[in-house]
Chain A
Amino acid sequence: MKILAVSLLRLGDIIMHDELLMDLQKKYPKAKIDLLINKQFESVQSVLSKCYQNIYVFDRTNIQKSLVEGNYNIFWGYQSIAQLVQDLELQEYDIVINLTYNKLSAYLCSLIPSKQKNGLHVFNNQFIGLENPWAEHLNHHFSAYGRSVFHYLEVLSKSLGIEISKNKEHNYNPKSHLILMQCLTNDIKKNWELEKFKKLKTMIQNMYPHFEIKILAAEFEKKILMNTFEEGDLYICSLKEAYEICKQSRLLISVDTSIKHLAAKVNIPIIEISTGSSDAIKTGPWSAASVSITPSTSCYPCSHSHHCQRETIECAESISVETVFKQVEDVLNHKEISLENPQIDLEKKIWSSYLNREDRFIVYNENDFEKIQSTQNDFEKILLTIKQTRSLDEIALSKENIQASDYGFYFNRLIQSACLNDLAGYQDGIIEVEKILQMRSQCLQEGVKNDTEVRAVSFEITS
Chain B
Amino acid sequence: MTHLILGPISVNQLFAYQQKYNSHSIGVAVAEEQSANEVALYGAKVFKIDFKENIYNQDIYSYILKYKPIILTHHETWGAFVKNYTDIFAVLTGRTVQSLEYHLKDLGVDVKISTQVSTPSNRMLNIKDVLPIIQNKNLPIEQKMILSILGELIR
Contacts and interface: CB of A to CB of B under 8 A. Distances in A.
A313 interface: no
A81 B148 CA distance: 11
B154 A67 contact: yes
A122 B127 contact: no
A415 to B, nearest CB: 42
A42 to B, nearest CB: 14
Contact of A103 (B69, B89, B148, B154): B148
A122 B145 contact: yes
A81 B152 CA distance: 13
Contacts of A63: 150, 153
Contacts of B147: 78
Contacts of B71: 71-73
B124 interface: yes
A29 B149 CA distance: 33
A24 interface: no
Given A60-B153, A67-B153, A103-B152, A74 B126 contact: yes
Interface residues of A, number: 27
Nearest to B128: A67
A70 B124 CA distance: 8
Nearest to A72: B70
A43 to B, nearest CB: 16
Contact of B95 (A64, A74, A79, A110): A74
B148 A107 contact: yes
Nearest to B103: A75
Interface in B114-153: 124-127, 130, 142, 145-150, 152-153
A78 B139 CA distance: 14
Contacts of A75: 68, 94, 103, 107
15 contacts: A63-B150, A66-B70, A67-B150, A67-B153, A71-B70, A73-B69, A74-B100, A74-B130, A75-B68, A75-B94, A76-B68, A76-B70, A77-B150, A103-B152, A107-B145
Interface of B: 64, 68-73, 89-90, 92-95, 100, 103, 107, 124-127, 130, 142, 145-150, 152-154
